Amino acid sequence: MYRTQLPYQQVRARLEKLITDGYPCEALVTSVFTAERMLRRTLVRLAVSAGFTSEQALRLVAGLGEIEAVEEVWSLLDPNERTLVDVIGTGNWRIVREAVKSRSDMANGLFPISLRQCTRRAHDLIGALDNTGEQLRNVYGYDGWGVHRKRHVSALHTDPKVPT
């Protein structure tokens, strides 16, 4: 595993090293963690940008559960109501979903996954992470890595009256 403060390029290098050192299943699990981190942290930034405080945004995203829930909520927080698939692309999203399913299957002992499958899925996901990070940076200027400013005061509901 790796510390969450590492820059993405160092994380990527560690993921590749897990594969070359003969630990492709660990690389797959860690790559899925990396994908979830990238998407959830970007979604937190979108919530803050929408006016939530940083604490509210963290609570909102933490309560989403599975990665499919992140996809469902994405368009609600995107300033232009784009879906996650619109932002990162169908191919990248398909690879992320397949890797998440493989990780869950391995963790729950449902279906055995060969080392060859783990290697292929981990490599595919690392490539999708590269593409996804680039897409997120292009669209939002943030890809889930690095420090961002915190919002301590909500910018939501500046008018306390509910319009009728």
Contacts of 107 (CB under 8 A, 6+ apart): 29
Percent of the chain clearing pLDDT 70 (strictly above): 91
pLDDT of 61: 93
Asked if the structure places residue 40 within a domain, the reply is yes
Asked if the structure places residue 54 within a domain, the reply is yes
Would you give the DSSP letter of residue 158?
Answer: S
**Distance separating alpha carbons of residues 26 and 80, to the nearest angstrom:** 37
Asked if the structure places residue 81 within a domain, the reply is yes
What does 60-112 look like in DSSP terms, one character per residue?
HHHTT-SHHHHHHHHHHHSTT---HHHHH-HHHHHHHHHHHHHHHHHHHTSS-
Q: At 140, list the tokens.
A: 């939002």
For 139, counting Cβ atoms within 10 Å of its Cβ (0-12 exposed, 13-18 middle, 19+ buried), the class is middle
* Predicted model pTM: 0.88
Asked if the structure places residue 164 within a domain, the reply is no
Query: What pLDDT digit, counting tens, does each position of 96-128 carry?
Result: 999 999 988 887 777 778 889 999 999 999 999
Query: What pLDDT digit, counting tens, does each position of 10-66 carry?
Result: 999 999 999 999 999 999 999 999 999 999 999 999 999 998 999 999 999 998 988
pLDDT of 2: 42
Closest alpha carbon to 36 in 7, 6, 71? 71
Q: Which domain holds residue 131?
A: 8-140
Give me the number of domains the chain comprises: 1
> Coil, strand, or helix at residue 155?
coil
Asked if the structure places residue 36 within a domain, the reply is yes
Asked if the structure places residue 29 within a domain, the reply is yes
Q: Hunting for tokens 């890809």 — which residue is that?
A: 143
Asked if the structure places residue 127 within a domain, the reply is yes
Asked if the structure places residue 107 within a domain, the reply is yes
